[in-house]
A = this chain, B = another copy of it.
């Protein structure tokens, strides 16, 4: 995956409003109005957030009359997870060391 794709994905995920929008979209498509409803924020602000999510490829949009329903696109989320998976080994090692340390301490008592 291209570097700037990861940039855009992580940058998009770094905002709680946008993460909440993604969470909402897990339960199915939604229009801009539906997505905006839970937030004390203007509709244009939500549209901007949606544009960020769309540019990052995290959502895509259809057309239903004057509505532009949004749906979740899992590709970039998977790519981000794959990138983070490279660090799994590292924290597993650290937790193993922590466990070992705790064992030693337990024996010493």
Q: A residues within 8 Å of B by Cβ?
A: 3-4, 6-11, 13-16, 19, 22, 26, 72, 74-75, 77-78, 80-81, 83-88, 90-91, 93-95
Contacts and interface: CB of A to CB of B under 8 A. Distances in A.
16 contacts: A3-B16, A6-B13, A7-B14, A8-B14, A9-B14, A10-B14, A14-B14, A19-B83, A22-B87, A26-B87, A72-B87, A74-B87, A74-B91, A74-B95, A77-B87, A78-B87
Q: State how many copies of this chain the complex holds.
A: 2
Which DSSP category, helix, strand, loop or mixed, fits chain A's interface?
A: helix
Contacts of A81: 81, 84-85, 87-88
Contact of A10 (B10, B87, B94): B10
